Amino acid sequence: MVSETMSCSVALASPSDALIEYSSYILEEINDLLKVEYNKKGRKYRVVNNTLQRIRQEDKHLIICPEQLELKLSFYSAFMILYNIGNGEILTRYPEFCCTILSLAQTLEENHWYEEENSSVLHLKNSKIDPRQLIKEEADKFIEQYPLTETHTTQGINLLICSKLNFLHTDHHIGTKLEGYYMKFYIEKYFNINDEALSYPDVLIALKSCVHWGNIKGILYKLEVPHIQTTPELIENFKKFPDPSPELKQSVYERYPSGTSKYCLLKKSIETLADSPYAQLIPFDQTTYPIEWLYRLCKDIESNPIKYHLRSKAKQLSDIPPVSLAELTMKYNSLSSKLFQFIALAANVLIDSKDHSFLQNSKIPKLNQELINENDKIYKYLVDLRKKIDIYETKSWGTEDIVARLQQEYNHSSSDTLFAQISELRQVYARPNQSVISTT
C-alpha cells in the first residue's frame, strides 16, 4: 500500500498586515457610505459629521481635491456654478465679483478652510461629475481676461467672515435679501453694487452659494466667539487665516444669537422705558413683574452666544452643553409675557412708540381691554400720571420740575421706581466692555 502525503502551503498574513488590510476595507466601506443618499418625502439626506443631514442645492456644492491642488478643481467647480446661474450673464456683468468668488474657492481648498465634506463641499471621489470635463475651456478663457489677484482673495475672505456673522445672528448666511451692516458695506465698497443691483437675483444666488463653502467653526473661532468646539486639526488649519478686523470681532456682540431675539427685545424695551423722561415716576413692583431672571439670562447669552444659537446642538458648534431654546421658552414664557404686558402699558400711555420702532414689534401686545383688566392697578396709575404730566407740560414746565413736583405728590420711594431698579440691574449684570446690543 502506497501512501502519498500531500502538502499544501498556505501563506498566512502577519497580524499587523491583516489589521492593515481590514482597516483599509473599513475605510472603503465608510467612503461608500458617504456616497449613499437617503430620500424621505422628496428630501435628500447624506451622512455628514457622523449624522444624517439634509442636502440642498447640490449644484452649488464646491467640488475639491486638496490632495492634488494642481488640478485647480475648486476653481473650475466655482466657475461652473457661476456659469450655470441664470444664463451665465453674471460673469460678464460683474466680473470682479465673480473673480472674488473664484479666488475664495481656491483659497479655501488650498488652506483647508472649507466646510466639512458632503455638506456644501464635495470631494471629487464622492462627486458624480468632474467640472473640468464640462467647463475647463470657458473657465480658462475667463481667467485669461480677468486674472485673479490677492485683492480678490482679501475681499472674498471678508465677505465670508460677514456671512458667518450673519449666521450667528440670524441662522442665515445671506437670507432672501442681503443682511448685515458689514456685508452690505463691503459689497458696495468692493464692487459698487448698490441696493438696486442687489435686486438682480443672480448676485444673491452666487453670494449665497460661495459663503456656505467656508468652515463655520473655524471662522467663528477666528472671530473669537467663546466656546467654539474646535479640534487640533482645525486650529492648525486656521493659523494662517487672516485675523478679522476689530470691528468685525466686536460685531459678534452687537446682536443676540439666532433664536434669542425675544430676550434682547425685552431687555432693550424695558431699558428704553427706564431711560424715558418720566421713568423716575413709574413704580415697578418686581413681585408682580419679576425681571432679575432676564438680566441674569441676557448676561449669559451675551457672554456665551454660541451656547444659545438655534443650531448649536445640530451643528455641534459649542464646546459646552448647548441650551435647548424650546426648554428656555417653556421656563420663561409666563415671565416674559408679564414683562411684555408692562412694556405695552407703559409704552402706550407714557411714550410715543413711533419714536422707537422696536416697540411696535409683534411680540409686544396691543393695548386692549383684556390687557388693561389684567393689569388694572398699574394702568390706572399710568393714565393718571399721564394726565398730570400733560397739565404741567401745557404750563411749559420743564421735565425736571415736573418730576420733582410729582415725586412729592405721589410720595414714591425713589428706590422702587423703574429708573432706580433698572439702573441697579444694569450695574450688577453688566458684561465687561459691553457694547450696544441691537434688536434688529
Q: Is the pLDDT of residue 202 over 50?
A: yes
382-421: pLDDT as tens digits:
999 999 999 999 999 999 999 999 999 998 788 899 999 9
Q: What is the mean pLDDT of the chain?
A: 87
Q: Is residue 373 part of a domain?
A: yes
Q: Is 220:164 a contact under the CB 8 Å cutoff?
A: yes
The answer on 285 and 209 residing in a single domain is no
Q: β-strand 51-54 against 43-48: which pairing, if any?
A: antiparallel
303-327: pLDDT as tens digits:
999 999 999 999 999 999 999 999 9
Range of the domain at 38: 20-55
The answer on 122 and 25 residing in a single domain is no
What does the alpha-carbon distance between residue 99 and residue 156 come to, in Å, rounded to a whole number? 9
Q: Is residue 434 part of a domain?
A: no
SS3 305: helix
Whether the predicted model's global pTM rises above the 0.85 cut: no
Q: Is the pLDDT of residue 436 over 80?
A: no
Q: Is the pLDDT of residue 86 over 60?
A: yes
Rounded to 10°, the helix 95-111/73-83 angle is 150
The answer on 50 and 67 residing in a single domain is no
DSSP assignments along 175-213, one per residue: -SS--SHHHHHHHHHHH---HHHHTSHHHHHHHHHHHTT
* H or E element at residue 32: helix 15-35
Q: Is residue 84 part of a domain?
A: yes
Q: Is the pLDDT of residue 377 over 50?
A: yes
pLDDT at 44: 46
Q: Is the pLDDT of residue 177 over 90?
A: no
The count of domains in the chain is: 3
C-alpha cell at 281: 415716576
111-146: pLDDT as tens digits:
999 998 767 999 999 999 999 999 999 999 999 999
The answer on 179 and 316 residing in a single domain is no
